[in-house]
Amino acid sequence: MTGPRNGGRAEPGTPLLEVRDLTVHHGQLRALDAISLQVFPGEVYAIIGANGAGKSTLLRTIAGLHHPSAGSVWFDGADVTGLRPERRAGQGIVMVPEGRRLFESLSVEENLQVGAAYARPGPWTIERVYETFGWLRERRRQPTAQLSGGEQQTVAIGRALVANPRVLLLDELSLGLAPVVVQRIYGMLPEILATGLTVLLVEQDVSQALRVASHIQCLLEGRTTLEGRPADVTADQVEAAYFGLAGAAPARQPGEGSEP
Amino acid sequence: MVWVNAVIQGVLIGGLYALFACGLSLMFGVMKVVNLAHGDLAVLAGYIAIGVIAVTHVPVLWSFVIVVPVMAVLGYVVQRTMIQGALDRSVLTTLMVMLGLSFVIENGLLQFFTANTRGIGTGLSLLTASFSIGSQIQIAYLLVVIFATAVVVLLGLQYFLSRSKYGRLIRAVADDREAAQLAGADYRHVFGIAAAIAFATVALGGIAYGMYSQIYPTAGTDTILLFAFAAVVIGGLGSLWGTLLGGVVLGVAQQIGAQISISDEALAGFIVFLAVLVLRPQGLISRRAQS
């Protein structure tokens, strides 16, 4: 059942995560306007866009932290729109929130233990996280406040992984981190994907997103302005979609031409 | 020597105040609930103990085994129904609901038990006895037992919070409720557990108070709640051992005040409370410093 909104992709089977015509309001402001997307198993799906485009709102609504005013979120063929965040986490939708949001009075290991408290069965354990990110083991007794931003981000990712998510939501991993640190964190992605996860990420750093994603969707003021595989979109298209330049307003499908 | 005696008595009574205070501190620290009914819950537990003893004729100490779990369950239920509903609306609603609960408990107790003061006889000769050091210092075994109980309760709470799964979840939810939800934790359930602990500890305090002194329906607000607040503020909010230190400082201040003039007992305690609030608003042990 491949829907009409899969951006021309030829993925077989049903999407793992699907968002249908999602509209979210923050008070009077319409943060998302009828957004749809389909994420297929094993994909790295990147939402890009400028500040205020609605990227984080979209991710937080998928995680259950915002209630949509219209539309629905489907996970593994079931409507999860009415489920609380903790129930969605239990089903395998786990988010690394923007700004890391570690438990500051807990040690590194305790943060991971909280992440594992309601874990689904799966490949990720606290031990596996220590094996993957070697330096964490020596620092497991430290309060997280003593870690650098990049280290904190790694703990936040580890805390999400030990829950054994089926789809991992990553909200602005690069925020406030040095480029070299961002590179290193995104460098972990292949190893994470190898354990069978699907990733939906939000990223302001477009070049980073284009490098890691198998599919991108660009938002502008709550609407989709571009969607496709990174290989099929040109830099000009992305720039136009990102900044909302003239001629970019209708969503372009890949292969439609690339005149500015 | 009378001053030494005052200090010793004050330290020991501080254990009772810590039992009053630790639950108040926990509920504020975890769910930001100012439990104005906290003292009334202690008195309620005392009256339930009186009722249980009268009806079942169990030995007095056994009443703890019945009343404390009952109060814990009540705490979970009250949190999940009344308090959570108020929290979902606003801080002010929560304050009003706690105040309402306080009124209901007090007036309910007045209705059923009248305004007469009641004591809880320990029924144990050891606990009514005391021992002497020198000629002027006389220490009641009961106070020693209450102080030891407070220390054991605080040690147990600390162990629970730092080592157990639910203790970790309580701290995690207190730090960042949303992040805890993303990790799959139902914070309402965690709040319920924290309230159960708070109700259980204050039940211990209420029964102990009934043994040490006397209870009456309004003792919850005119004595216990005030002492609990003072102990929490003096010791430092969110610090477990701070509540014991706060209770001890309050107790010592009261006993020294009483030594000056018996009518100065409560006044001296509240002067220290006010002084700490003005000079060191974070309390003697601040949460940051402890962690």
A182-196, B11-25, B28-42: segment of lowest average pLDDT: A182-196
The pLDDT value given to residue B135: 82
Alpha-carbon distance B69 to nearest alpha carbon in chain A (angstroms): 25
- Say which range, A125-134, B53-62, B73-82, B242-251, has the weakest mean pLDDT: B53-62
Contact A36, A47 (CB under 8 A): no
What is the pLDDT confidence band of residue A254, given thresholds at 50, 70 and 90?
very low
Residue B100 has pLDDT above 50, yes or no: yes
What percent of the residues of chain A are helix, what percent strand, and what percent coil, each to the nearest 5?
Answer: 35, 25, 40
**Is pLDDT above 70 for A136?**
yes
CB–CB contact B165 A113 (8 Å): yes
B180/A114 CB distance under 8 A: yes
CA-CA distance, B167 to A194, in Å (whole number)?
Answer: 34
A247 confidence band (pLDDT: 50, 70, 90): low
The pLDDT, as a whole number, for residue B287 is: 58
**Contact present, A199 and A45 (Cβ < 8 Å):** yes
Cβ <8 Å between A95 and B185: no
Count the domains in chain B.
1
Q: What is the 3-state secondary structure (H, E, C) of A76-94?
A: CCEECCCCCHHHHHHHCEE
B26 touches chain A (CB under 8 A): no
Cα pseudo-dihedral A130, A134, A139, A140, rounded to 10: 0
Q: Distance between CA atoms of A116 and A136, rounded to whole angstroms?
A: 16
Residue type present at position B202 = V
Of A110-119, B1-10, B222-231, the range with the lowest mean pLDDT is B1-10
CATH number, domain of B37, equals 1.10.3470
CATH classification for the domain delimited by A17-243, as one of 3.40.50.300, 3.10.270.10, 1.10.10.10, 3.20.190.10? 3.40.50.300
Structure tokens at A191: 């190893």
Q: What residue spans define the domains of chain A? A: 17-243
Task: Write the DSSP symbol of residue A1.
Answer: -
Nearest C-alpha neighbor of B284 from the set B236, B216, B227, B228 = B236
Residue B77 has pLDDT above 90, yes or no: yes
**pLDDT, chain B, mean:** 92
Reported as a pLDDT band with limits 50, 70 and 90, residue A255 is: very low
**Three-state SS at B173:** helix
Give A3's DSSP letter.
Answer: -
Report whether pLDDT(A256) > 50. Answer: no
- Per-residue pLDDT band for B198 (boundaries 50, 70, 90) equals very high
Mean pLDDT of A123-130: 96
Q: What is the pLDDT of residue A260?
A: 39
CB contact under 8 A, A110 and B168: yes
Q: Is B183 within 8 Å of A63 when comparing Cβ atoms?
A: no
User: Which pLDDT band holds residue A249 (cuts at 50, 70, 90)?
Assistant: very low
Contacts of B186 in chain A (CB under 8 A): 84, 86
> According to the model, what pLDDT value does residue A246 have?
59
For residue A135, list its beta bridge partners: none
Rounded to an integer, the average pLDDT of A141-148 is 93
Q: Where is pLDDT greater, at A164 or A205? A: A164
The percentage of residues in chain B with a pLDDT greater than 70, rounded to a whole number, is 97
Q: CB distance B183–A117 less than 8 Å? A: yes
| DSSP symbols for A161-225 | HTT--SEEEEE-TTTT--HHHHHHHHHTHHHHHTTT-EEEEEES-HHHHHHH-SEEEEEETTEEE
Question: Would residue A108 be called left, alpha or beta, if left means φ above 0 and alpha means ψ between -120 and 50 degrees?
Answer: alpha
**Min CA distance, A92 vs chain B (Å)?**
10
The whole-angstrom separation of Cα B150 and Cα A129 is 40
Domain that residue B125 falls in? 2-290
pLDDT, tens digit, 9 for 90 and up, residues B119-167:
888 777 677 788 888 888 889 999 999 999 999 999 999 999 999 999 9
What amino acid occupies position A127? E
Nearest residue of B to residue A65, measured between CA atoms = B178
Interchain contact B88–A (C-beta under 8 A): no
Decide: helix, strand or coil at residue B171: helix
B37 min Cα distance to partner chain A (Å): 28
So what's the ipTM on this one? Answer: 0.88
The minimal CB distance from B181 to the residues A85, A104, A115 is found for: A85
Q: Given a cut of 60, is residue A156 above it in pLDDT?
A: yes
Selection from A137, B181, A166 nearest residue A154 by Cα: A137
Tokens for B122?
């320990």
Token readout for A27 is 């008070």
In the prediction, which pLDDT does B11 show? 97
Q: Quick one: tokens of B25?
A: 């501190």
Longest pairwise C-alpha distance within chain A: 56
Q: Kindly tell me if the per-residue pLDDT of A1 is higher than 50.
A: no
Q: Which residues in chain B have Cβ-Cβ distances shorter than 8 Å to A159? A: 183
Distance from CA of A90 to the nearest CA of B (A): 6
Task: State if pTM tops 0.80.
Answer: yes
- Per-residue pLDDT at A80 exceeds 90: yes
The tokens describing B19, both together, are 């039992």
Residues of A with CB under 8 A from a CB of B: 63-65, 84-86, 89-90, 94-95, 97, 101-106, 110-111, 113-115, 117-119, 143, 159-160, 163
* pLDDT, tens digit (0-9, with 9 covering 90-100), for B263-291: 888 899 999 999 999 998 888 887 544 43
A10 pLDDT band, cuts 50/70/90, is low
